[in-house]
Amino acid sequence: MNGKQVTAVRTLDCAHKLRVRYLLPRPLDRELLESLGPGELRVQAFSLKVQGARDHLALIDEERNLRAAGVDGEGLLTVTFGKLGREAHEGVVADFESLLVQLLGVPIALRE
């Protein structure tokens, strides 16, 4: 993790919707993900089912067609903007990243 920035790697999902992998300056946790709402926070407590597994966190925002997910305690947040047949709302990416910057207190650097 780079404590001074969020590194964003932009790709497309298999439906050609924008998918961004954000390498965070600190581990992802429930509080951070929930703060990136609105949306529904879903927690899969895999650590209780498989020894050595980690918990999976997801924020599902159906209104904005946004899904953010990552591993509890790790530094990667994967966000898909839009879904099959539906584009993300205009401005959603900018709003999301603006909030992320505000919460983490560091800028986002786009990695090509």
Residues that bind other proteins (CB under 8 A): 11-16, 44, 46, 49-56, 58, 60, 62, 67, 69-72, 74, 76, 78, 80, 83-86
Closer residue to other proteins, CB minimum distance, 105 or 112: 112
As measured in angstroms, the least distance from the Cβ of 7 to other proteins is 14
Closer residue to other proteins, CB minimum distance, 14 or 94: 14
As measured in angstroms, the least distance from the Cβ of 108 to other proteins is 19
Interatomic CA distance for residues 108 and 112, integer angstroms: 13
As measured in angstroms, the least distance from the Cβ of 22 to other proteins is 12
Closer residue to other proteins, CB minimum distance, 10 or 107: 10
- What one-character-per-residue DSSP string does 42-105 give? EEE-GGGTSTT---EEEEEETTTTEEEEEETTSSEEEEEESBTTBPPPTTHHHHHHHHHHHHHT
Nearest alpha-carbon partner for 28 in 64, 59, 4:
59
As measured in angstroms, the least distance from the Cβ of 4 to other proteins is 24
First vs last Cα of the chain: how many Å apart? 18
